[in-house]
Amino acid sequence: MGVHLPSMALKEKQIFKLHSQVTRNQMSSIPKGHFAVYVGETERKRFILPLSFLNHPSFQELLSSAEEEFGFTHPMGGLTIPCKESTFVDLTSRLTIH
């Protein structure tokens, strides 16, 4: 259980606002309680993640790097995380073990 900082709550609201801009077709393929991200340095791959990941400090670091690189205007129309796909898969696989 992580500490929920007020600034993170604002960032999460901005992320959800951005995420709501994704087309309805894409949204229909996202299960309730999940969100989509695009990951990769050049080619981007779409991942569907549980909302609980937003509370993990390691994932919050990825969100901060996405904010630094893209602000809240992401080139894919959804949340884009600028890291290697292998790094992302490694991190998210560790988050699901808990």
**Distance of alpha carbon 89 from alpha carbon 87, whole angstroms:** 6
Q: What are the structure tokens assigned to 20, written together?
A: 């709501």
Q: What is the three-class DSSP state of 23? A: coil
**Segments making up each domain of the chain, as ranges:** 6-97
Nearest to 82 by CA among 67, 97, 98, 60: 67
Type of residue at 89: V
pLDDT given for residue 1 in this prediction: 44
pLDDT given for residue 10 in this prediction: 57
* Residues 66-80 pLDDT 10s: 888 877 666 666 788
Return the ∠ at Cα 88 (arms to 85 and 91), rounded to 5°.
Answer: 150
